[in-house]
Amino acid sequence: MRGKRYRSRRQWYNTHAWAYFSAGLLVAGGVAALTTGRFIYPILALSIAIVGMVVAYVRDRGEECLYILDDREVQLRNARSTVTIPLKEVVDASLVDRSAARDYIVQRARRDLPSDPGRAAVRRHEALFVRFCSVDIGLRTLTFGLGRRMIDRMPNAKNDLVLLRLRNGEEYVLSPLYNQDLVTNLSRATREAGAV
């Protein structure tokens, strides 16, 4: 098989959620200005909306990744690193949605790390799973979980990610644009590599 290349997907979850929140914030600021006669409220609401939109955009922009599959190996690439995995090391690849991927990573962190590892150790451990994922799956939130719940209910949040599991116990969450195609071709290539 000639090398197939899969680009990562971008999902603007945080930007969409913040746009809804900003609209409500601006309306509230306008109402407060009309009732009190003080125009500091709309200015404050606009300032918060702009800062929040910039933060949401930066988080959603993420990092573009590339997944290359041929008949011997799969390569996972981002701007900082490349991992080459022989197909014989792949256990399986399965589709998983955003919230299921997040829950799975949190469970693995609880299982793999000591009882009180500290926040920095947990974040490093979680980052290993999602370093080749361009979609923010909601591991860290700035809205105390409210925005995460709203994003999980959005229709495009059900677009599946790919969980890639290896024989050495490593796992990666991937976010290819054509997720089903990657899973199908990876499963086929893994079977053929195992048969050789």
Q: What is the pLDDT of residues 4-17, one digit of tens each?
A: 899 888 767 778 77
Q: How far apart are CA 142 and CA 55, in angstroms?
A: 10
93 vs 9, residue with greater confidence: 93
* 185 backbone dihedrals φ, ψ, rounded to 5°: -70, -35
Q: How far apart are CA 188 and CA 4, in angstroms?
A: 13
**Residue 27 contacts by C-beta under 8 Å, 6 or more apart in sequence?**
none
Long-range interactions of 190-194: CB distance < 8 A, separation 24+: 190/87, 190/88, 190/90, 190/92, 190/93, 192/71, 193/71, 193/72, 193/86, 193/87, 193/88, 194/87, 194/88
Examine the pLDDT at 32 and tell me if it is beyond 50.
yes
State how far the alpha carbon of 63 is from the alpha carbons of 80, 122, 153, in Å.
10, 21, 24
Residue identified by tokens 């919230």 is: 99
Helix axis angle for 13-36 and 40-61, nearest 10°, is 180
What's the half-sphere exposure (Cβ side, CA atoms, 13 Å) at 45? 19
- Of all residues in the chain, the percent with pLDDT exceeding 70 is 85
Residue identified by tokens 């899973």 is: 183
Q: Which range has the worst mean pLDDT, 39-48, 69-78, 111-120, 157-166?
A: 111-120
Query: 0.85 exceeded by the pTM?
Result: no
Examine the pLDDT at 104 and tell me if it is beyond 80.
yes
Q: How far apart are CA 76 and CA 66, in angstroms?
A: 6
Predicted confidence band of residue 196 (pLDDT cuts 50, 70, 90):
very low
Examine the pLDDT at 131 and tell me if it is beyond 50.
yes
- Of all residues in the chain, the percent with pLDDT exceeding 90 is 35
Examine the pLDDT at 48 and tell me if it is beyond 70.
yes
Predicted pLDDT of residue 110: 77
In DSSP terms, 4 is beta-bridged to 69
Cβ atoms of residues 36 and 93 within 8 Å? no
Predicted pLDDT of residue 80: 86
Predicted pLDDT of residue 155: 62
